[in-house]
């Protein structure tokens, strides 16, 4: 990890450590940046007694959580740092005395200037993936956990972040051919559902709304595996495509149950099972947490292949960034 990232993370963690009391961790963003926070919300919920909640930024603004005050920590993110809702939410949080930490790819962006502790991250084109948004965030969260409740587990997790570049690259290579097969087979589908639970729900949600809908204009929806049997399973049929992600964290039984039912009736299931990931360099008690961000890396390979076979670049938009909305 680059020194600039380490220094920025350390400054933010030290600020959290100095707070005498923390009543809530709020994670605030939109779209893919909001989805980025779901795995760490899961980690915080499993590891920390302090409540942690992910908000889409505009709802955070209008809902105005009553508990938001000088004892709160608000962590926000925007890739370009110019998402107006996220910038406004961060400003509101800071005005209420909350400790504000923001992540952005663009140094000097509006979000960068709105918060107290900005953290830069690299983007997908960069070679070293330990400097990307998911790994920067994991380093921040596990360092915060280790600061407020020191543990060997959290210290090991912080060190594991530095090994994730090799893990990501190994799994990108492992799933390269499967991704091409997916792109070739599903390039003409008009609707694709994506299903997951636990820490993997974030990258699966992002794949559904940011890749399939935003970047490929394919009708889609994210289905939480725990909610599948409470309405969504009625659309399951032989010609209905599903991408099912099976995590290896505490909620894997939800994924297994959904997969077991779905495969009885759908002939179009793409299974991504984190149990098959190459994670030999990650400690056993941490694999479930880190597998969630490997899911995102693998799904990106599937996205790249789908875009290639459809002849529809991931950068093409009809409305986004082209008009006021």
Distance from C-alpha of 176 to C-alpha of 182, rounded to nearest angstrom: 10
Structural domain boundaries enclosing 230? 179-310
In a domain? residue 231: yes
In a domain? residue 52: yes
Between strands 242-246 and 99-104, the pairing is: unpaired
**Whether residue 22 sits in one domain with residue 151:** yes
**Whether residue 190 sits in one domain with residue 80:** no
DSSP state at residue 270:
E
Alpha helices in 48-109 (DSSP H): 57-63, 84-95
**Whether residue 121 sits in one domain with residue 237:** no
Q: Which residues contact 66 (CB under 8 A, 6 or more apart)?
A: none
Beta strands in 178-257 (DSSP E): 191-196, 219-224, 242-246
Choosing from 162, 196, 226, the residue where a domain stops is 162
**Whether residue 136 sits in one domain with residue 35:** yes
**Whether residue 252 sits in one domain with residue 138:** no
Distance from C-alpha of 172 to C-alpha of 186, rounded to nearest angstrom: 19
In a domain? residue 224: yes
**Whether residue 232 sits in one domain with residue 131:** no
**Whether residue 158 sits in one domain with residue 189:** no
In a domain? residue 171: no
**Whether residue 105 sits in one domain with residue 28:** yes
Instruction: Give kind and range of the element (H or E) at residue 146.
Output: helix 133-148
**Whether residue 281 sits in one domain with residue 145:** no
Tens place of pLDDT per residue across the chain (325 aa): 889 999 999 999 999 999 989 999 999 999 999 999 999 999 999 999 999 999 999 999 999 999 999 999 999 999 999 999 999 999 999 999 999 999 999 999 999 999 999 999 998 666 677 788 999 999 999 999 999 999 999 999 999 999 999 999 999 999 999 999 999 999 999 999 999 999 999 999 999 999 999 999 999 999 999 999 999 999 999 999 999 999 999 999 999 999 999 999 999 999 999 999 999 989 999 999 999 999 999 999 999 999 999 999 999 999 988 888 8
In a domain? residue 321: no
How many separate domains does the chain show?
Answer: 2
pLDDT tens for residues 136-176? Answer: 999 999 999 999 999 999 999 999 999 999 999 999 999 99
Choosing from 162, 196, 213, the residue where a domain stops is 162
Choosing from 130, 162, 194, the residue where a domain stops is 162
pLDDT tens for residues 46-93? Answer: 999 999 999 999 999 999 999 999 999 999 999 999 999 999 999 999
Exposed (0-12), middle (13-18) or buried (19+): which is 234, by Cβ within 10 Å?
exposed
- What does pTM read for this prediction? 0.95
**Whether residue 207 sits in one domain with residue 249:** yes
In a domain? residue 229: yes
For the domain that residue 118 is a member of, what is the CATH number?
3.40.50.10490
User: How many helices (DSSP H) and strands (DSSP E) are in the chain?
Assistant: 12, 9
Which 3-state string (H, E, C) describes 192-206?
EEEEECHHHHHHHHH
**Whether residue 298 sits in one domain with residue 242:** yes
Measured in residues, the chain has a length of: 325
In a domain? residue 172: no
For 320, half-sphere exposure in the C-beta direction (CA atoms, 13 angstrom radius) is 13
**Whether residue 281 sits in one domain with residue 207:** yes
In a domain? residue 315: no
């Amino acid at each position: 990890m680059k020194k600039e990232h380490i220094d920025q993370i350390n400054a933010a963690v030290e600020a959290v450590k100095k707070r005498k009391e923390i009543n809530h961790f709020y994670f605030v963003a939109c779209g893919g940046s909001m989805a980025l926070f779901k795995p760490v919300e899961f980690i915080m919920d499993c590891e920390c007694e302090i409540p942690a909640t992910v908000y889409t930024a505009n709802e955070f603004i209008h809902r105005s959580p009553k508990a938001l005050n000088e004892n709160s920590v608000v962590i926000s993110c925007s890739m370009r740092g110019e998402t107006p809702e996220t910038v406004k939410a961060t400003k509101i949080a800071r005005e209420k005395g909350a400790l504000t930490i923001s992540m952005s790819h663009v140094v000097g962006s509006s979000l960068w200037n709105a918060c107290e502790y900005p953290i830069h991250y690299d983007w997908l084109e960069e070679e070293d993936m330990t400097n990307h948004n998911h790994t920067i965030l994991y380093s921040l969260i596990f360092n915060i956990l280790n600061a407020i409740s020191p543990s060997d587990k959290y210290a090991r997790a912080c060190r594991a972040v530095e090994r994730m570049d090799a893990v990501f690259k190994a799994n990108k290579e492992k799933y390269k051919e499967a991704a091409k097969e997916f792109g070739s087979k599903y390039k003409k589908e008009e609707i694709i559902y994506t299903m997951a639970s636990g820490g993997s729900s974030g990258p699966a949600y992002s794949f559904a709304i940011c890749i399939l809908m935003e970047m490929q204009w394919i009708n889609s929806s994210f289905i939480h595996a725990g909610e599948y049997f409470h309405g969504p399973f009625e659309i399951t049929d032989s010609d209905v495509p599903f991408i099912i992600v099976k995590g290896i964290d505490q909620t894997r039984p939800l994924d297994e149950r959904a997969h077991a039912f779905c495969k009885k009736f759908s002939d179009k299931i793409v299974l991504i099972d984190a149990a098959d990931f190459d994670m030999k360099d990650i400690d056993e008690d941490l694999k479930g947490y880190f597998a969630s961000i490997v899911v995102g890396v693998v799904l990106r390979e599937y996205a790249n292949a789908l875009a290639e076979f459809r002849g529809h670049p991931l950068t093409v938009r009809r409305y986004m960034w082209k008009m006021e909305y």
